[in-house]
Structure 1
Amino acid sequence: MEWQVFVLYPFRDPREVKKLLIGCVICIVPIINIIVVGYFMACLSNGIRGRLTLPDWNNWQDLARDSLFGLMILAVYLLIPLILVPFLMIIPLAGSLLLSMLMLLAGMLVPIAMGGYVMTCDIQYAFRLPDIIMQAVKIIEHYIPIYLAAAFIIAIGLAIILVIPYLSPVGAVIIFYTGIILFRSTGMLIRDSRYK
């Protein structure tokens, strides 16, 4: 799969641009922006189902429910690296490096774990670590570059929000757009791996 397909797909149709703009506005509004996690999961679902469009913003109940489950999945997967922070920060340089690697690894599993939930509508599937790791191994060749690029771009968006607060909307839009690309791409890779 070519990267241009992943990055430019929201601009294929004017209706898609409208959905993108709605998401950008929602992403900027504090507290309400949590709903974006559910939208990312809808993008993941569209990728898994082979849909070529962005999800609609019309099913707020599902988006809210999926946001809660998505945040739960995120919290559980990032909990272990966060618990290790005090212990790893004692070790100069190597501790920070190890913590960064653990956060990247845990973060890498989050979209795949969310995919487990999206495919089954059962939260338990998101926490079946052997299955999640097996899925990650199946798609790793294409997933790692997408994930690392997305993690880097999201880090830039977060840095903009934290360092230049008056440009926070720009950072939020960067994070939202990158999330759409990451989650839909992950869904497509999961779908493709099921037919190999």
Structure 2
Amino acid sequence: MIERGCGSMDIESAVKFPTEDENWVVKVLIGGIISLIPIVNLLATGFCLKVMKETINRTPKMPEWGDWGELFVKGLIGAIISFIYLLIPVIVIAAMTGGAVFSMGMRSGMPFTMMIGAMVIGGLLAVLFGFFVPMALAMYVSGDSISDAFRIKEVVSRIKSVLGEYITAYIVIILLSVLLLLISVIPIIGWLIATFGSFYVGVVAAHMFGEVYTSSVA
């Protein structure tokens, strides 16, 4: 959690946040199973946004699974907001991949190099543009207004006001995501552990950035 006034973050407590709920194992299992199903997995996104909302309201907790319609709508809106912010990396990856496929059709020796370049450049752009997504989502759930997520000046201003904590939270989530990626390559059970772990990390991220948002100023 954020320790206001000292500009530091208790990373260990933040990562353990989901375990404070007595039914956290069941809730994570449900979230992991839901995450496996395309479209339906928007419910998991909605759940994480509800965690963020509770944190912003200073009542941090993992909510009960329910209100499925509300979770789905919030998850869908959250996914749309994230997609719009990440549109440039998506376009770059699509363009470079398309170029590689075209080169392959022309029997050029460049497609493999272009594919690697697309992944590297696209990944870097995703990290860069993705940096603004958590604050945009926090602004959305705080005011329950989609337009709030695209008040770019306020997004930037709020991030600047808590830059140290925000960067710390962002790096922690990236590192946890990389760890899950490494776990996913373990034969047979790796992908399953990573799936449930990804939902857990999503809850952690929602809580961390919800805390950061409450400390920020426009």
Q: Which is further off, 94-103 or 136-145? A: 94-103
Q: For the residues of structure 2 that align with 1:30 and 1:168, how far apart are their CA atoms?
A: 16
Equivalent residue, structure 2, for 1:137: 160
Equivalent residue, structure 2, for 1:186: 209
Q: Deviations over 1:43-88 (max 9, x none)?
A: 1112211113112212111100101101101110110122123369
Query: TM-score under structure 2 normalisation?
Result: 0.77
| Contact kept in structure 1, 2:140 and 2:146, CA below 8 Å | yes
Q: Which is further off, 2-11 or 81-90? A: 81-90
Aligned: 1:168 with 2:176: no
Q: For the residues of structure 2 that align with 1:66 and 1:5, how far apart are their CA atoms?
A: 27
| Contact kept in structure 2, 1:44 and 1:186, CA below 8 Å | yes
Q: For the residues of structure 1 that align with 2:169 and 2:32, how far apart are their CA atoms?
A: 21
Q: What percent of counterpart residues are identical?
A: 26
Equivalent residue, structure 1, for 2:143: 120
What's the RMSD between the two structures over aligned residues? 2.8
Aligned residues: 195
Equivalent residue, structure 2, for 1:15: 23
The alpha-carbon distance between structure 1 residues 53 and 104, as it changes in their structure 2 partners (threshold 3 A), is same
Aligned: 1:100 with 2:100: no
Structure 2: which amino acid aligns with 1:43?
A: V
Structure 2: which amino acid aligns with 1:42?
A: K
Q: Which among 86, 94, 110 is matched to residue 133 of structure 2? A: 110
Greater C-alpha Rg: 2
Structure 2: which amino acid aligns with 1:141?
A: G
Q: For the residues of structure 1 that align with 2:164 and 2:153, how far apart are their CA atoms?
A: 18
Structure 2: which amino acid aligns with 1:117?
A: Y
